[in-house]
A and B are shown apart, each in its own frame.
Chain A
Amino acid sequence: MTDRLRKALAGVSAAATAFSAQMTDYDALLEAIVTSCSRALDATCTLGLFSADGVTITPVALSSVRPTEDGVLEGLLRQPRTFAQSLVGQLAPGSGSAFVSDIACSDLRAQVNPETYVAIERFGVRGFISITMRVRGEALGVLTVLQHDTTRAPLDDFDREIAAHLANLASFALANARLFRRAQDELAGRLSAEQVAERTRTSELRAVQANAFIDAILENIPAMVFVKDADQLAFVRFNRAGEQLLGIPRNDLIGKTDFDLFPKDEAEFFVAKDRETLRNQRMVDIPEEPIETAGGTRWLHTRKVPILDEHGESRYLLGISHDITDHKRDMVALVHARDAAEAASSELEAFSYSVAHDLRAPLRAIDGFSQALLDELGDELGETGRGYAHRVRSSAQRMGALIDDLLRLSRVTRSPLHRERLDLGELLRTTIAALQRDDPDRRVEIVTAGELVTHGDPRLLAIMFDNLAGNAWKFTSRRAGARIALSSEDRDGERVFSIADNGVGFDMAYVDKLFGVFHRLHADSDFPGTGVGLATVQRVVARHGGRVWARGEVGIGATFSFTLGDTKRT
């Protein structure tokens, strides 16, 4: 075997190995084809591939044994051209291969177009082999070997045979690689299609789950929730509370408009509000609107909200309606009750005024003329007569006191509450000082302890202290070492004030009657009183939102405790 043959075999073998190695990498195979050919034939080698229509040849790989200095040849070889312009296309379009060993000794100039010849001559191409690569009749590309190296022997038939082998091997490798690539693409396509399907299934599932989630929420909201499409204002969604409110099953609501379901004037109102919401793209609040339902007219408080799409256009209308019928009816009843109470209150006020003025005048006359009787005819009356006159006077005065107490009680109920900062210790001392003026000989120890500054209505609390401290003063009157103590303590987050005395006390069996009007636990001859005082105290405390209670023990004393509600509020 000659060296040349051995070398050629080695080149073809290396090419075959390289081609099969690059079977799965199409682009690497294209490079391997030109590189292998170039090495095996010691010449520049280019590979062009046909376009799908077979007209154009696009160079895809080039391996140059001795690159030209300016790279112009390489540039030219990389330019796409039509098959008709190619060497093989010009020289042997039918057979598919062209071979010129030595251009100088050929009549190539006459066979190709001048541009091609000029280019060949200019770049010093001495000979070439150009072979159309075919597999099962399909032209894949053109493999061209160019000999432009003066040191190499001209291309001969042996080179041509080797080139043909290599082109053949390359053709099959290329066809296989294409098959493989197509199979791979198809596989990849199928996989991605499956993935797409899977993703679609997943996102559909998520959408279904999200829908079910929203549905579950909507279904269980205890207010009517509905959605209308922005164009037709037809219902597209309705929840259970809505069905129940209207008394119409959902299936009879979906797709309907307000005009299908409600009286014309109501439907017109609803639709006008819908349009307003969608037009302004802002929530509309309708505090009260009537709606005809299977169960009669109901009143709704409705909020309408526009739902926008990704372009900011109103797409849906969301409505949320609370049934305020019962609330409204209660409010009406409440207003009636309040009006009635106010009417009763103003009647009471008129009555109180009348009591104050009209009842007291005759009492004044009874008392005054009894005194006149005593003044003018005292001697003639005798002792018994004068005694009767005095009893008439004291009865009139007692009735006057009773009327005054009742008036005070009614004033406590009527007058508005104005809280101010005030010191209950100070209030107690002022109250006691007034009692002391009327009874200068009494000695009573006054003790205060704890935080006694609070917020309350000064006039009402003054009336209350007149009664509480007045009671303590009164019921300690027969006792030596009388003591009245005011204290405060915080109990369960609430400030509790207490006024304690060491007076005659009371039996806890009667504690429930203590705060009732006209209830008295002591005979008037023991301790005078009208029985209105503690009722007044209770009302003052109630006006403050507080509570009052009492503890007592006969012969030991009594303690009245009270709270004043939220003292921060005015």
Chain B
Amino acid sequence: MSTDRVILLVEDNRDDEELTLRALAKSKITNPVVVVRDGVEALDWMFRRGAYAARPAHQVPQVVLLDLKLPKVDGLEVLRELRANEGTRLTPIVILTSSVEEQDLIRGYGLGANSYIRKPVDFTQFVDAVRQLGLYWLVLNQPIPG
């Protein structure tokens, strides 16, 4: 069965969403991107429940780009739930945030984040970071079997 290697972008800020999509496009990353805007939506999409109960099963998230500061359920809580669940335990999750707080970084890695990218003010640098990110998680990294 063929799968769509979907990128799940969890981002509540429309500007950041737009800029991230632009950066992905500039980096020639063509995978379909699904955008959700809070922690609840992110978990619903991942677990195919609520509004996303009807999500096609072949849409497998290749990587989750997760903001930390989110409405309803924050990013770290989303991370914890995804890591606690057998089906999403190994899904690559990259924290994508403005925070420079070391505590966030430590907690993020502690909860099993695969990578941590601080969104720079300079868009050029952001594009560079997204390009490297895409190169690793979408090209070099072998998807989890199954």
* Interface pair B101/A364, CB less than 8 Å apart: no
Q: Is B86 an interface residue (CB 8 A)?
A: no
Q: Is A371 an interface residue (CB 8 A)?
A: yes
The residue of chain B having its C-beta at the shortest distance from the C-beta of A367 within the complex is B123
Smallest CB separation, B17 vs chain A (Å): 11
A352-366: contact bitstring with B at CB < 8 Å (1 yes, 0 no)?
Answer: 010011101111110
Alpha-carbon distance A364/B122, docked complex (angstroms): 7
Alpha-carbon distance A73/B123, docked complex (angstroms): 143
Alpha-carbon distance A363/B16, docked complex (angstroms): 11
* Interface pair B69/A368, CB less than 8 Å apart: no
Interfacial chain A residues near B102, Cβ < 8 Å: 411
Segment touching B, from A23-31, A149-157, A298-306, A396-404 = A396-404
Q: Is A407 an interface residue (CB 8 A)?
A: yes
The residue of chain B having its C-beta at the shortest distance from the C-beta of A365 within the complex is B15
Q: With A356-B98, A368-B123 given, name 7 new contacts (CB 8 A).
A: A357-B99, A361-B98, A362-B15, A364-B15, A364-B16, A367-B123, A397-B122
Q: What is the predominant secondary structure among interface residues of chain A facing chain B?
A: helix
* Interface pair B101/A356, CB less than 8 Å apart: yes
Residues of A within 8 A of B (CB): 353, 356-358, 360-365, 367-372, 393, 396-397, 399-401, 404, 407, 411
Which residue among B69, B98, B102 has the maximum number of chain A CB atoms within 10 Å of its CB? B98
Interfacial chain B residues near A365, Cβ < 8 Å: 15-16, 19
* Interface pair A361/B16, CB less than 8 Å apart: yes
* Interface pair A360/B126, CB less than 8 Å apart: no
Q: Is B144 an interface residue (CB 8 A)?
A: no
* Interface pair A357/B69, CB less than 8 Å apart: yes
Which residue among B13, B16, B19, B119 has the maximum number of chain A CB atoms within 10 Å of its CB? B19
Given contacts A357-B69, A361-B13, A361-B15, contact A367 B98 (CB under 8 A): no
Smallest CB separation, B14 vs chain A (Å): 9
Alpha-carbon distance A372/B18, docked complex (angstroms): 10
Interfacial chain B residues near A360, Cβ < 8 Å: 98, 119, 121
Q: Is B22 an interface residue (CB 8 A)?
A: yes
Alpha-carbon distance A404/B118, docked complex (angstroms): 12
Which residue among B18, B100, B102, B126 has the maximum number of chain A CB atoms within 10 Å of its CB? B100
Alpha-carbon distance A364/B120, docked complex (angstroms): 7
Alpha-carbon distance A369/B16, docked complex (angstroms): 10
Given contacts A368-B126, A372-B22, contact A363 B101 (CB under 8 A): no
Contact of A396 among B19, B97, B121, B126 (CB under 8 A): B121
Interfacial chain A residues near B99, Cβ < 8 Å: 353, 356-357
Alpha-carbon distance A533/B76, docked complex (angstroms): 32
Q: Is B142 an interface residue (CB 8 A)?
A: no
Q: Is B2 an interface residue (CB 8 A)?
A: no
The residue of chain A having its C-beta at the shortest distance from the C-beta of B22 within the complex is A372
Contact of B121 among A363, A372, A411 (CB under 8 A): A363
B30-48: contact bitstring with A at CB < 8 Å (1 yes, 0 no)?
Answer: 0000000000000000000
The residue of chain A having its C-beta at the shortest distance from the C-beta of B100 within the complex is A356
Which residue among A364, A368, A372, A404 has the maximum number of chain B CB atoms within 10 Å of its CB? A368
Interfacial chain A residues near B19, Cβ < 8 Å: 364-365, 368-369, 372
Interfacial chain B residues near A367, Cβ < 8 Å: 121-123
Given contacts A360-B121, A363-B121, contact A368 B100 (CB under 8 A): no
* Interface pair B123/A371, CB less than 8 Å apart: yes
* Interface pair A364/B69, CB less than 8 Å apart: no
Q: Is B124 an interface residue (CB 8 A)?
A: yes
Interfacial chain A residues near B15, Cβ < 8 Å: 361-362, 364-365, 368-369
Interfacial chain B residues near A369, Cβ < 8 Å: 15, 18-19
Smallest CB separation, B94 vs chain A (Å): 17
Interfacial chain B residues near A353, Cβ < 8 Å: 99, 101
Alpha-carbon distance A397/B15, docked complex (angstroms): 17
B96-136: contact bitstring with A at CB < 8 Å (1 yes, 0 no)?
Answer: 01111110000000000000000111111010000000000
